Structure 1
Amino acid sequence: MSLLTIILSIVIPPLAVFLKHGLGSEFLISLLLTLVGWIPGVIYAFYVNSK
């Protein structure tokens, strides 16, 4: 995982997922989790981008 991906995963989780995986189910889940709460969005972004 690059430094940019790590920073974006913390600041704007859906953008980090979008840049790595595009518009798909991962992005929609990340967006939903970020809207529910910022911390779940960050955790999911790190999880998805570490694969």
Structure 2
Amino acid sequence: MSFWRVLLAIIFPPLSVIGKGCGSILIVFILTCLGWVPGVIAALIILNKNN
């Protein structure tokens, strides 16, 4: 997880998970629409997962 991805996850969460697949982008986008904090948390969790 790079510094720039974390910063992007805080500013605009859906854009930070763009390399993780369409499902991740959709989930983070929906959570961000429901509230900024759930979107940021989901983006950080997805970015922290090891594949």
TM-score (norm 2): 0.90
Deviating above 3 A after TM superposition, structure 1's stretches of 4 or more consecutive aligned residues are: none
Q: Which residue is equivalent to 2:36?
A: 38
Q: Which residue is equivalent to 2:6?
A: 6
Q: Aligned residue pairs: how many?
A: 49
Once the two structures are superposed, residues 28-51 of structure 1 have per-residue CA deviations (whole angstroms, 9 ceiling, x without a partner) of 000000000000000000000001
- What RMSD in Å do the two structures reach over aligned CA positions? 0.8
Gaps of 5+ in 2: none
Instruction: Give the CA deviation at 1:21.
Output: 1.2
Gaps of 5+ in 1: none
